[in-house]
Structure formats: structure tokens, C-alpha cells
Homo-oligomer: A and B are copies of this chain.
Amino acid sequence: MQEVPTKVTLVDVARMAGVGIGTASRALSNAKGVAATTRARVLEVAAEHHYVVSPEASRLAKGNTGRVALVVPHLSRWFFGSVVEGLDSVLHHANLDVLLYQVGDQQDRHDFFEQLPARRKVDAVVVVGFQLEDPERKRLESMGVQIVAAGGQSAAYPYIHIDDYAASRQAMDHLLYLGHTRIAMLEAVDPDQPHLVSRRSPAYYEALTEHGIQIDPALVLSGPWGGEQGATMMSRLLSIPKPPTAVFAHFDEVAAGAMRTLRRAGLQPGRNISLIGIDDHPIAELTDLTTIRQKPFEQGVEAARMLLKLLRGEQVENQAVAMPTELVIRGSTAPPTTRESR
């Protein structure tokens, strides 16, 4: 039924150009040892007949795949999508094909590394936003596959990330500078890797301690990642005897949830209570949320560049590249109002 497009093979091209098959191949692949005129003739014939090399055959003969796998936990989230966009853009310009593997839950992830669907399918793997476990990494390495992480970190392979501690300090220092002393923290635990402790929390404790502020355990809440969780945690904060004057959320989306709670309570963020997040997620701009900006797209770009080097066999100087973050002030933060500050 399906009309098969006319297939032109290398042999056809060679014959039509009146050269040998070897010469044709060399001409097409830009290898040297071919007379200029010969090459021109081959190229012309090839173009004329819309010849395209068969990737399968080429790779079978060459031994490499020209493909890279992107392993991502969640694609529909801004952060991950942006990183992938960045990766994709530079990888494609390098003439590599990008294979997508979404591994939402532990099960998917386990399957991915167990079945090695990537085996012999890719030259490299980019892990986006999570940490590879040791056996997983070994597995990949034993297959001769390069590994790079974007938006995650590890001691075992190169990665691009932001400095979570520093970013959190930026947030906390801003709140402290504004004069807040009663600051809450909404910790978000990644359900995919619950045991992973973020460097964002230590920043909170140390910032307070350095300012001589007593830590109040009642002001630290944690829950799974997500806006709804932020909303819930905020509700809890509003039901303690002396609610905070400012809230530091680990993620903008959590902060957005908290903001909804505030609004429902008739409170105005930035007026009655200050709120700061991390990410500069688009929602931050649309809800007037002060935040610490990071640029996931750029992280993807950087990771891809690093990968390209690795693939070329070059040595990479920095195994870990930290991308900058910056404070973006919007309407959700302000000095504490007198009534509440004391």
C-alpha cells in the first residue's frame, strides 16, 4: 500500500558517477584522497538523485551511533523542559540526534537502566535533574557511554548545576537585610529521590545563625515538592501562635502555593508577609514573586557543550560547572510592618 520512496544507494551513485564504490564513499564523507573533480562529480550525482546515506548502514560499519540519550524525570515542568531545550539546540547543531527517555517514577528509571535500552543505541547519556545511583553509573560506563549531568550533581561524572547553597543564601540574606528575623522555610523534598538532602536547607540555618537569630523549629516545614504542598504548609504556618513575617520557599512553585493560601486568608504578600522563592519560574513573574533566578536553558546549553568536548575525546577542565544565580526583586518582599515585626 505504502509507496516506497525510490531508494538510491551508494552503489547506484558510484555507478552513475562512473567511479568505484570506495571512491564514492570517500567523496561523500569528505575524506581525503579523492581528486577534486571526481568528488565534484560524485556530489553532483548524489544531489541530483537526493541520495542520503543510510544511517543504519553507516553506523553499523563505523561503530558509533551519532546519538545521545536524554534521561529526564518530568518533561512537563518548566525546569526540565528548559534544560532539554538548551541541550537539544546545541546537540542538533553538532549533528547529533537526540533520543528522549522520560523516566517518571522509580520503576521507569529502574527499567531504563536495567534493560539498557540505550545500549548500543547512543554514544552518551545526559541525566537531567537527578542523581545517578552508583550501579546505574557503572552500568553505563561499562558500556562505554559518556555521562554528563545537567541540573543535578555527582562526584563521579561531569555536571552543570547552580550552587544551591549560594542561591539560598541570596534569598535569606535579602530577607534578613529587609529586617526580617522571624523567617520560615518551606522545604521541598523531591519524591523521586527522597533521601537527597538539599543544600538549600543548610543555607537557611547558617544564615540565621550568623545573624544571631535563634532557630525556631516550628518555622521549618517540609513536604513533597509542589504547589499544593506549599499551600498546605503555609496554612500550617498561619495556625501557629506567632506566624513568621517572611517565608523562604525552596521553589517558586511551592511559594506560589503558599501565596494562594495567603490570598485566601485575605493577606497580601509583600504587605502583610514576605515571600521569596528560587527559580524565576514563569509563574514568579505572573504572581509578582520575588525570587532567585536560575537559567535552566543555559544549563542545558553548557552541559551539551561539555558533552561535545567529551565526545571529541578532549579533556574537560572543570568537572563541575556552577551557573550564576541572581536576586530578582518583585512585589512579594518588603520590610516587616511594625505591628508584625515585634
Contacts and interface: CB of A to CB of B under 8 A. Distances in A.
Interface of A: 1-5, 50, 52, 54-57, 59-60, 65, 70, 74-78, 80-82, 84-85, 88-89, 92, 97-102, 104, 116-117, 119-121, 142-144, 227-228, 231, 253, 256-257, 259-260, 263-264, 282-283, 285-288, 296-297, 313, 331
Protomer copies: 2
A256 B142 CA distance: 49
Contacts of A142: 5
Contact of A76 (B85, B116, B259, B286): B85
A55 B88 contact: no
A228 to B, nearest CB: 8
B100 A70 contact: yes
Contacts of A54: 60, 120
Contacts of A264: 288, 331
A144 B4 CA distance: 6
A101 to B, nearest CB: 7
A316 to B, nearest CB: 13
Given A55-B121, A56-B56, A285-B227, A76 B65 contact: no
A85 B75 contact: yes
B144 A5 contact: yes
Contacts of A257: 286
A119 B53 CA distance: 9
A65 B56 contact: yes
